[in-house]
Structure 1
Amino acid sequence: MVDKALGTGGRKSDKDLKIRLKTARGRKTGSTKWLERQLNDPYVARARAEGYRSRAAFKIKEMDDKHKLFRKGMRIVDLGAAPGGWSQVAAKAIGSTDANPLIVGIDYLEMDPIPGVKLLMKDFTDDDAPAMLIEAMGGKKADLVMSDMAWPTTGHRPTDHMRIVQLIEVAAAFALDVLAPGGVFIAKVFQGGTEHELLHMLKRHFKSTHHAKPPSSRADSAEAYLIAKGFKGTNDTVPGEGEYDR
């Protein structure tokens, strides 16, 4: 049941107008708080109004506004694509169509079709997933590899940290294999969670690396995004080069 908190009189404040939920029988307090946050999240409402599948669409839009990630005709791989918000934004920005699909997305979760996007229902960490993606790309190089992947958290911080870094490393290794010179790699990280070895490797292979915290990323969330720009190519790396802007 949904309740609206009422003031004692006069004009109701924004706080008073927030939707609050009674804890239903069988629903944990944490689930109730998550539902309250979703119902009161302006980005959730905007995503619904503008036809995006998730609020995450605004994260990639904001990163594109600042870092100029998309251009017409580029080829993109979307790792952990479900529910499809990033691919939706990218397809429109680059002009990808069903007649000429320029985006390949992969996720182990089932997704409804997205115009201009080839979707693979597959766990990216499976051994045969990279080959399937390359085949779906028609053997062509990618200009952008973007990953919004994250393991479900266990609540044990050291374990979660290790799993997150491992996932980024797998995504980065794939990006190095498929990116064209000048390409870009984007991956979800968590603040304080990027290992020095990984960052050092990206600096060697890309002209610049940056951390981004888009405005639509919840303020109380530790998530951030690592953006590596200007892929040098597998035979054109200089150890120690790169710029890191936090």
Structure 2
Amino acid sequence: MKTTKSPGGPGGRELKTRVKTARKRTLSSTLWLQRQLNDPYVVRAKREGWRSRAAYKLLEIDEKHHLLQPGQRIVDLGAAPGGWSQAAAKKVGSAHGHGKVVGIDLLDIEPIAGVEFAVQDFLAPEAPDLLKTMLGGEADGVISDMAANTTGHKKTDHLRIVHLGELAAEFAGEVLKPGGYFLCKLFQGGETGELVARLKRDYAVVRHIKPNSSRADSSELYVLATGFRAKAT
């Protein structure tokens, strides 16, 4: 691994880290590591104490749309490694007894002040009831940065992420209070029409968002639905 200078930084030059391919490291792994080391949001997250660069996506969306407010109750689906939960906890004040943040993921995370977390597959039949018990009432917001494991087949991978979005939307409809919001990661492409139509039926406003902190070469985008219309019981 070595650091070189390339055009673009202060004075026209910036530091660039290049990673040599190790004997036991594949080329794709080497390129991923090199991208991570040179990603300004990764560097910034480490410097500012965030669990992941993803925290900036939520913070950027929140800055524009004013979602996270003190005292709110938030559910974070696909929480690992904790960037979104950490940002939500800071915004709602759950570490100081204001509001609540609960999260779920297949992968464990290091404890975060103000976050109640469970290692569980969201697709498991018992997951929704577990989250409802943890939450202990209605939610102000459901946020989801879940992504399915990729197969390498673009259409299959896209269908998987849409399916996760549909399940997350269904869960949000069960726990949100009137006026609540739902934020979910998708990927650009087809097959999202049915999900978006459902959200437009159940929420006052539906937007598609591509945060500046999303990598330029990524097809990810986020759908934000606000003003939940609770169904009559």
Q: Name the TM-score class by shorter chain.
A: over 0.9
For 1:4 and 1:197, locate their aligned partners in 2 and report how far apart those are by CA, in whole Å: 48
Give the number of the structure whose alpha-carbon radius of gyration is greater.
1
SS for the counterpart of 1:103 is strand
Query: Identity of counterpart residues, as a percentage?
Result: 53
- TM-aligned CA deviation for residue 3 of structure 1: 1.7
Matched ranges for 1:17-56 at <5 A: 17-56=15-54
Paired residues for 1:90-169 under 5 Å: 90-97=88-95, 99=97, 102-138=100-136, 140-169=137-166
Change (3 A) 1:148 1:105: same
> Normalization by structure 2: what TM-score?
0.94
Deviations 1:201-236 (A, max 9, x none): 110000000011111100000001000000010239
Secondary structure of 2:68 counterpart: coil
Ranges in structure 2 where 5+ consecutive residues have no aligned partner: none
- Could you tell me how far 1:31 is from its partner in structure 2? 0.7
CA offset digits 1:131-187 (Å, max 9, x no partner): 00001111x100000000001211111111111111101100000000000000000
What amino acid is the match of 2:95? T
SS in 1 for 2:171: helix
2:216 to 211, 219, 226: 219
Q: 1:56 to 1:6 in 2, by over 3 A?
A: closer
Shift of 1:65: 0.7
Code of the aligned partner of 1:54: S
- What secondary structure is seen at the aligned counterpart in 2 of 1:18? strand
Distance 1:5 1:97, change over 3 A: closer
Match in the other structure for 1:4: 3
1:195 corresponds in structure 2 to 192
2:200 equivalent to 1:208: no
Query: TM-score, normalised to structure 1's length?
Result: 0.89
Q: Which SS does the other structure have where 1:88 is aligned?
A: helix
* Structure 1 unmatched runs, 5+: 237-246
Find the counterpart in structure 1 of residue 55 from structure 2: 57
Alpha carbon RMSD of aligned pairs, Å? 1.8
Aligned pairs, how many?
Answer: 230
Given residue 227 of structure 2, which amino acid in structure 1 is its aligned partner? G
When residues 186 and 6 of structure 1 are mapped into structure 2, their CA distance, relative to the original with a 3 A threshold, is closer
